[in-house]
Amino acid sequence: MTAVAHRRPHTPPLASPFLEFDLTLETDRLHGETTWNTGQNARTLIKYDDLRVVLMALEAGAKIPAHKANGRITVQVLSGHIRLNASKRAFDLLPGSLLALDQRAPPPSRGA
């Protein structure tokens, strides 16, 4: 029996008692959208009052301007390499890396 990817005919909810994602499929979708032509694309997967999960795809060499989040953040790298500057230091994140920053940490700036 061959597994077939289930495609939803509508946009999935961002908040629900149960949410499940195939991150490989979600990343492939980001690369397939026309906005990928800019070298970066993102999709909010989960959005609650106190938690937001955003999947980002960045082309090698892409940079995201410094900004401040209104809460704690985590950055998990699925593939590639990210250099993130925060808390007066640089973090080099490789696949499998996870970084958590408290809401009082100085604003991060990111680059891939």
Digit-coded pLDDT (tens) for 26-79: 999 999 999 999 999 999 999 988 888 999 999 999 988 887 888 889 999 999
Determine the distance from the C-alpha atom of residue 5 to the mean position of all C-alpha atoms in its chain, rounded to a whole number: 22
pTM of the model: 0.76
Considering all CA atoms of the chain, what is the largest pairwise distance in Å, rounded to the nearest integer? 53
